[in-house]
Structure 1
Amino acid sequence: MIPDPPQHQGPACTVQLDETMTVPPAIDAARVAEASPDDGGGMPREAPLAMPVQDLSHWDMGQGHRPARPGRDPWPARILVFGGALALTAFGGWQMVETVSVSGNPTALQLVLVVLFCLTFSWIALAFTSAVLGFGMLLRRPRPMSAPTALTTRTAVLMPVYNEATARTFAGVEAMREAVEATGLGDHFDWYVLSDSTQPDAWIAEERAFLELRGRLGHDARLYYRHRAKNHHRKAGNIGDFVTRWGGHYEHMLVLDADSLMSGSAIVALASAMEADPDAGIIQTLPLIINRNTLFARLQQFAARIYGPVIAAGLSAWSGRDGNYWGHNAIIRTRAFAESCGLPDLPGKPPFGGHILSHDFVEAALIRRSGWAVYMLHRLPGSYEESPPSLIDVAVRDRRWAQGNLQHARVIGAAGLHPATRQHFATGIAGYLASPLWLMQLVVGILLVLQTATERPDYFGGAGFSPVFPRFDPVRALQLFGLTMAVLLAPKVLGLILALLDAPVRRACGGAGRLILSSLVEILLSALVAPVAMVIQSGSVIGILLGRDTGWNPQRRDDGSIPLRDIVRRHRWHTVLGLVAGIAAFAIATSLFLWMSPTILGLVLAIPISWASGQLTLGLALKRRMLLATPEEASPPEIALRAAALATRNAARGYDDTDSLVAIHADPALAHAHGRMLPKGQRRPRGAIDADQTLAAAKICEAETVAEAQLWLSQKERMALLHDRALVDRLVRLETSQA
């Protein structure tokens, strides 16, 4: 019998593993091995949990968790929110019918306008009634929560990363770990960086940062790192891989994003809340946006801080224990997650088939289906995140979110879901359908005005022999416009009122005058951005409906502008659309031009608006004048200050600026530790040739210097090389430069 060929076999060159490498004290390989005897340098011994794939078409009501203390559904809040939104929509729809029926029976096109108005108005009506409920909740000042003094369970804090800035990621992990240790309860938390990075430089930077940090903290740091060779199912697969392999060690897991920061007291409070509530499956926090300085990011930061609490409080009130999950800054009961949240692949191809993109909503739905509570501690302080720096960056992220939410149309009818869960899905879907519906309503309005301006009167369509013109009641139309604006802006006004009533918040935002002026600036700039965002989102939805998959690009988080040529390329058609719409509207009727002027202006100025959105200078100019200011700017959270200091230190060490091949070649100790962290026992099937690995082997064996390896190896080939211990050893043996 012919034996299997060795796993790594290429051109004749030295690819034997070097077992004599020495490791300097900075990495401390002995401690790494002691802490992780099974998986080399990165992870503890495995403690698997079964995570069965869930059946969306069938659910047995007898299975799942039986609550020890069944909670009551918040029916009064739900009646107020949904009943109020329905009544408000009915009133608005009736007013619209009266507006278009001034000449008699409405035309078919006018009826289409009424339907579109009701659909779009119901969306803002629901936000209005939810905000009113949240406003009432926040007017009641609760007693401050006492800090936990003891814990009995263990929690894994998970930081999934995907081609992120390593200096900042590990600064956040280190800062949060220090903060939790300072509470005296640090022994109850282990820290994991779970990498799905597909860029070799990012991968090696993460390993360098991890090894350096754990070398300083020692073998009892309870800090671990794992890199997946294939980012199967993306973040959901990343978390699922942890749960199925190491989840048995922990009662809870606290899931973060790469830009997440949480204070030590907030992390401990979440663990304590889980211990106190045996029926809780997921407890979500309300993250505040911090550290933002570009114009657009400061708009988001101000809006989230001043208006966000009102919306979140309303959502929390009517959701009760049937809430939602936003994928980060939340604590999860590990075994409940494993038993309930194995996500199936949806039938068909993307964008509606394949793996579930917006996994967090579905995970909340499935864990709630299994009888576990999902709710939000919206008043818990100390939970933070960041946001994209420009309009284009938001559009890139929003395209992925749009696909994920529209994909939920395949999940909303799943068996056994709670009605509130279905409402969360419906709200998410409607949020992305709203933009094309608004655009359709605008187009129908233009057609109606054009019809009014060009059609001859119908002398026989009405009662008797009076001429009938397809026209509107101008007084009712103005009243309806006022009602729509009031409903649309009310959540912002309610948030502003609460901020004005809160003396510390008011002073931190520069006083009442600056706070009011900041709100006006936010409303004005948001109104200019809204038409561009509407068209972009409409294009995304149409593209998804036509079958275009968005993929998954890493999110740009740093402040900074986008080259003007890219901005012009992205927005040139928006400008053309605005010019054409403006000229056409003015030619049809001056009143139509005036009615459309906000939309026209936003589209015509799309390029300068998008350019300005990413500008640090504009954002910082407003910051100096204390406009769009937030309390977290006036008094930055300690966790944010510490993370920023550590990020500066890490950046000076060049984690994100060093070529991966150069880093491995220059430090045999790093190469040795890297090899120990690679998964063991994986062999390719006979005859299944990995082209990237084969080419990497050929090129690294022919290369004489690391410079040649850098020049010859593609990104995929570099990843293949870094997954191969023998090829890494060959890389280390290369000359630095030719003699």
Structure 2
Amino acid sequence: MKSDETISHSQVLSEAEPETAAPASAFGLPPEAPLAMPVQNLAHWDPAARHRPSRPARTPWLARLWVFGGALALTAYGGWQMVETVSVSGSPTGLQLALVVLFCLTFSWIALAFTSALLGFAVLLRRERAPAIPAGLSTRTAILMPVYNEATARTFAGVEAMQEAVEATGLGRHFDWFVLSDSTQPDAWIAEERAFLDLRARLGPDARLYYRHRLKNHHRKAGNIGDFVTRWGGRYDHMLVLDADSLMSGPAIVALAAAMEADPDAGIIQTLPLIINRNTLFARLQQFAARIYGPVIAAGLAAWSGRDGNYWGHNAIIRTRAFAGSCGLPDLPGKPPFGGHILSHDFVEAALIRRAGWAVYMLHRLEGSYEESPPSLIDVAVRDRRWAQGNLQHARVIGAAGLHPATRQHFATGIAGYLASPLWLLQLVVGILLVLQTATERPDYFGGAGFSPVFPRFDPVRALQLFGLTMAVLLAPKLLGLIVALRHGAARLACGGTGRVILSSLVEILLSALVAPVAMVIQSSSVMDILLGRDTGWNPQRRDDGSIPLRDIVSRHGWHMVLGLVAGGAAFAIATSLFLWMSPTILGLVLAIPISWASGQLGLGLALKRRRLLATPEEATPPAIAVRAGALTARNTARGFDGSDALSALHADPDLADAHTRMLPPGRDRPRGAIDPDRTLAAAKIAEAETVEEVRMWLTPRERMALLNDRTLVDRLVRLA
């Protein structure tokens, strides 16, 4: 190892330069080994092009019959009970029939989750060993960390911690590490380069660590991964795709590579990432729910999906040639939000690689896979808006030729997950109209049998029973997850003991019930935006703990509060019983502003943490990989990677500026005769500037990016006083 005091940025790149580098590769990258990634045709599919499995795959028919047959039977029973509830006074009215239809649609969603969780519960009752760490490997794997305007200190801390952990297994030579940047902010780009050069300097000349920055983030993450595959995919048997907040232990990474080696028919092997390192109130709710209830849901999904599973876009290993041959994503016809680039690319990639005959499945028992989550309700809503558009786009893909039926079910489930909220909202509105009709409409003296007047009414006993059934089906997956957690003594003690685990579950259920109405209205609004043709952007995700300014919360949730007040007043005016029935929804909406404010509060989350509420085993005994990454993050933060201005950093360090220009790919400079307005303005401004401070004041963000992409302008910047 060489210390960062004894090696310069330029030396790092010299040592990183391959002996026989391909002409298209920039410094700091391995020789290119292109792999074709043809764009797939969704309208046509030739079955002869399928991969032929080396051995027959067993389809879990019994599991699927239980999950889907059971959900169908439950929905039929619930629908029948609803018909009986609204048919007390004779044939149902149009509004009552609408209520029955909406109930069946929404109830089927929770019924499917219930039967899948029951299956997962049965699976987890059988104690099985997690995959063992292999003694050796014969393949090469590229570990990919795509980044987009992320916190550099944490990103590179995670890469370094994982690289150390893999090296500690003795099998590090089988893995290369790539940080694939799509960052569009100048400060983030230069911070990444500084962190990369610093890490390369400490790892020494034999480090298999590489960094690539794309000029334009074409097709976003899918395009980022696709660029890697088409340039270097031929060098690697597999690629392990991460997110910027991902962490995986060394044994988990090696076990994934070994599992892919052992199964020549596997195309994607997904892990179950656990949420860690979360401290705000809302993030701790998500962390606890994912840890306690998540394993039951994941086990059920893995059991009925079998080898026809899904892919969540990160913490998964992929067979590179299978991906290249089958996962080139086409642009959908038309304009966004339903046309253009596919946002939720991971589902589609799983569908296409399965169509090509490769297996997709999950190792839900594999330990050592982690991620983080957004810190507040608003942050989740921003991410969820993008996911909503991506999942609704799948309505254009679900009918693609050659897809496996289980794949179509994954698409349908994803679409239904976002349609559920507006359907629930519509069901609530229909219920209010029915109660209003009952309270204001005169009895029908002629439509009933005999001479008895007919009042439009409900059967209160059946209605109460149906409500109890709905609540039981809704809460059962959480109860099953709680039972599994309580059965494991070590995990139970780590969470504070039986009493605290049960109390934490009650706290989670209560707070989730308050959040649910707000989330329902937000998702409904998102779906309406998409249906009206409004596209979403792709803003970088806020990952750090921290609160949101109150004015932003009021701006976002003010109309939710007004909606709750209006709905509450109207319900109370119609009937006291209606007000009581709607009170949970009304309360959540009326309290939307304080709930959203509290969700991002670090102090509230830490107060629960001190009382060991919403605790997880990983919080009591943090994984070694998380502890190491935390220490490295603190060190990187102290070095100021994320706090420096890009232009000042290059000006102050000529070696960094030289390294930066050498890492620009060939052809990045402006071609003769091609006038780039941003580059032209940047050149004019830097020509008049006498100091770097003037350049910083004068250049816009776009002009800064143009400067950083031009070797000549970077050289002028360095020469300023």
Which of 587, 602, 605 in structure 1 is aligned with 2:591? 605
Q: 1:80 and 1:405 mapped to 2: Cα distance? A: 26
* Conserved 8 A contact 1:36-1:43: no
* Conserved 8 A contact 1:26-1:212: no
Aligned with 1:484: secondary structure? helix
Q: Report the equivalent of 1:54.
A: 40
Aligned with 1:28: secondary structure? helix
Shift of 1:36: 8.1
Give 5+ residue unaligned stretches, structure 1.
Answer: 1-21
Q: Report the equivalent of 2:707.
A: 721
Q: Report the equivalent of 2:425.
A: 439
Q: 2:330 and 2:28 mapped to 1: Cα distance? A: 29
Deviations 1:536-571 (A, max 9, x none): 000000000000001100000000000011000100
Which of 271, 278, 299 in structure 2 is aligned with 1:313? 299
- Residue identity in the other structure for 2:14: A
Q: 1:35 and 1:430 mapped to 2: Cα distance? A: 53
Which of 217, 220, 227 in structure 2 is aligned with 1:241? 227
Which of 542, 545, 548 in structure 1 is aligned with 2:531? 545
* Conserved 8 A contact 2:392-2:415: yes
Q: 2:58 and 2:452 mapped to 1: Cα distance? A: 60
Q: 1:28 and 1:317 mapped to 2: Cα distance? A: 48
- Residue identity in the other structure for 2:77: F
Which of 232, 241, 263 in structure 2 is aligned with 1:255? 241
* Conserved 8 A contact 1:51-1:244: yes
Shift of 1:218: 1.4
Q: 2:87 and 2:407 mapped to 1: Cα distance? A: 39
* Closer, same or farther: CA 571–236 of 1 in aligned 2, 3 Å: same
Q: 1:624 and 1:273 mapped to 2: Cα distance? A: 40
Q: CA RMSD in A?
A: 1.2
Q: Report the equivalent of 2:441.
A: 455
Q: 1:95 and 1:597 mapped to 2: Cα distance? A: 23
Deviations 1:577-606 (A, max 9, x none): 000000000000000000000000000000
Q: Report the equivalent of 1:596.
A: 582
Mapping of residues 102-251 of structure 1, within 5 Å: 102-251=88-237
Aligned with 1:696: secondary structure? helix
Q: Report the equivalent of 2:337.
A: 351
Q: 2:537 and 2:95 mapped to 1: Cα distance? A: 38
Shift of 1:469: 1.1
Q: TM-score, normalised by structure 2?
A: 0.98
Q: 1:25 and 1:262 mapped to 2: Cα distance? A: 29
Which of 555, 559, 565 in structure 2 is aligned with 1:573? 559
Q: Report the equivalent of 2:3.
A: none
Aligned with 2:240: secondary structure? strand
* Closer, same or farther: CA 27–205 of 1 in aligned 2, 3 Å: farther
* Conserved 8 A contact 1:135-1:494: yes
- Residue identity in the other structure for 1:679: P
Q: 1:642 and 1:69 mapped to 2: Cα distance? A: 42
Q: Report the equivalent of 2:469.
A: 483
Q: 2:448 and 2:643 mapped to 1: Cα distance? A: 75
Shift of 1:464: 2.7
* Closer, same or farther: CA 198–682 of 1 in aligned 2, 3 Å: closer
Mapping of residues 494-509 of structure 1, within 5 Å: 494-509=480-495
Pairing 1:410–2:396 present:
yes
- Residue identity in the other structure for 2:403: L
Mapping of residues 336-735 of structure 1, within 5 Å: 336-682=322-668, 687-735=673-721
Shift of 1:25: 6.5
Aligned with 1:291: secondary structure? coil
Shift of 1:28: 2.8
Which of 61, 70, 73 in structure 2 is aligned with 1:75? 61
Give 5+ residue unaligned stretches, structure 2.
Answer: 1-5
- Residue identity in the other structure for 2:78: G
Which of 14, 30, 33 in structure 2 is aligned with 1:30? 14
Deviations 1:445-487 (A, max 9, x none): 0000000000001111222332111110000000000000000
Aligned with 2:49: secondary structure? coil
Deviations 1:335-371 (A, max 9, x none): 0000000000000000000010000000000000000
Shift of 1:70: 2.0
Shift of 1:143: 3.0
Q: 2:20 and 2:579 mapped to 1: Cα distance? A: 69
Q: 2:7 and 2:463 mapped to 1: Cα distance? A: 77
* Conserved 8 A contact 1:34-1:219: no
Matched residue count:
714
- Residue identity in the other structure for 2:284: R
More displaced 10-residue stretch of structure 1: 62-71 or 475-484: 62-71
Shift of 1:686: 6.0
* Closer, same or farther: CA 25–144 of 1 in aligned 2, 3 Å: closer
Q: 1:356 and 1:520 mapped to 2: Cα distance? A: 39
* Conserved 8 A contact 1:179-1:264: yes
* Conserved 8 A contact 1:26-1:216: no
- Residue identity in the other structure for 1:33: E
Deviations 1:311-345 (A, max 9, x none): 00000000000000000000000000000000000
Q: 1:112 and 1:35 mapped to 2: Cα distance? A: 71
Q: 1:23 and 1:153 mapped to 2: Cα distance? A: 32
Deviations 1:674-707 (A, max 9, x none): 0011010346566542111111111111111000
Aligned with 2:503: secondary structure? helix
Shift of 1:219: 1.8
Shift of 1:30: 2.1
Q: Report the equivalent of 1:267.
A: 253
Query: Aligned residues: percent identity?
Result: 84
- Residue identity in the other structure for 2:369: S
